[in-house]
Amino acid sequence: MQWLIMAAIAYQIITWSWVLFIVYWSINAFRVKAVAEHQSWAESLSYRLPATVGGALLWVQASPRPLQTVITPHNDAVRLTGAVLCVAGLGTAIWARRTLAGNWSSNVTFKQGHELVKTGPYRFARHPIYTGLLLMVLGTALAGARLHSWLGAGLLFISFWIKLKAEEVVMLRHFPDQYPAYRNEVKAIVPFIL
């Protein structure tokens, strides 16, 4: 009985973290600068497709039997760790989004009056929104425990990596002096490591 209560609490925390993320992002999507340059929709498929499939796998409950294979232990400590990671990721993503302010975009773009932001969480990672999202994804996969969740997490990581590489090409083109130095000083998504 206690197992069911702890599992329900962990899943509620994770679910509400994702709901808060979506609500926050939806509200703030209108508070951005005008786009000066963007990649085509076809170009964006390179990261949108794995993100869509990865997101579906992360959350799907009804999947073929092999995808239901349990990968991580099904216990309270693991589920609560997943919930804590999800909340920490939400906090990181919101902090990064607030710091980036009007420069943010869900697409690979360059904004009018775009600034190279190196404050707040951008002191520790060049793409801290992805850091936060990956913490949320890791927490969700950990609590989900099954192969489909971990495959989804892997595809989401690949999607974010493809997108951040495209963003870096744009940043290098528009900030040819500042961005290379920033890139040498600060890791992409995992502070001091990656």
- What's the pLDDT tens digit per position in 35-73? 889 888 888 999 999 999 999 999 887 778 888 898 988
Task: Supply the pLDDT for residue 193.
Answer: 92
pLDDT over threshold 60, residue 1: no
Q: Give mean pLDDT, residues 118-136.
A: 97
Element (H, E) at 109: strand 109-111
Q: Which of helix, strand or coil describes residue 118?
A: coil
Instruction: Using alpha carbons, select from 155, 137, 159, 149 the residue that is nearest to residue 67.
Output: 149
pLDDT > 90 in the chain, percent: 74
Instruction: Using alpha carbons, select from 105, 123, 85 the residue that is nearest to residue 164.
Output: 105
Task: Supply the pLDDT for residue 38.
Answer: 87
Instruction: Using alpha carbons, select from 136, 152, 147 the residue that is nearest to residue 25.
Output: 136
Instruction: Using alpha carbons, select from 90, 94, 88, 85 the residue that is nearest to residue 27.
Output: 94
Ordered by where they begin, the domains of the chain are: 2-25+34-185 (1.20.120.1630)
Residue-wise pLDDT for 12-32, tens only, equals 999 999 999 999 999 998 889
Count the helices and strands in the chain (H runs, E runs).
6, 2
Task: Supply the pLDDT for residue 2.
Answer: 63
Tokens of residue 73, six digits:
């232990």
Q: Give mean pLDDT, residues 105-128.
A: 95
pLDDT over threshold 70, residue 129: yes
pLDDT over threshold 90, residue 84: yes
pLDDT > 70 in the chain, percent: 97
Task: Supply the pLDDT for residue 152.
Answer: 96
pLDDT over threshold 70, residue 136: yes
How many Å separate Cα 178 from the centre of its chain? 25
| Cβ(101)–Cβ(157) below 8 Å | no
Residue of higher predicted confidence among 94 and 194: 94
Q: Which of helix, strand or coil describes residue 38?
A: strand
Tokens of residue 26, six digits:
């939806």
Residue-wise pLDDT for 138-192, tens only, equals 999 999 899 999 999 999 999 999 999 999 999 999 999 999 999 999 999 999 8
**98: pLDDT confidence band, cut at 50, 70 and 90?**
very high
Q: Give mean pLDDT, residues 76-80.
A: 90
* Pair type for strands 35-38 and 109-111: antiparallel
Cα 180 to Cα 171: distance, rounded to the nearest angstrom? 9
- In angstroms and rounded to an integer, the radius of gyration of the C-alpha atoms of the chain is 18
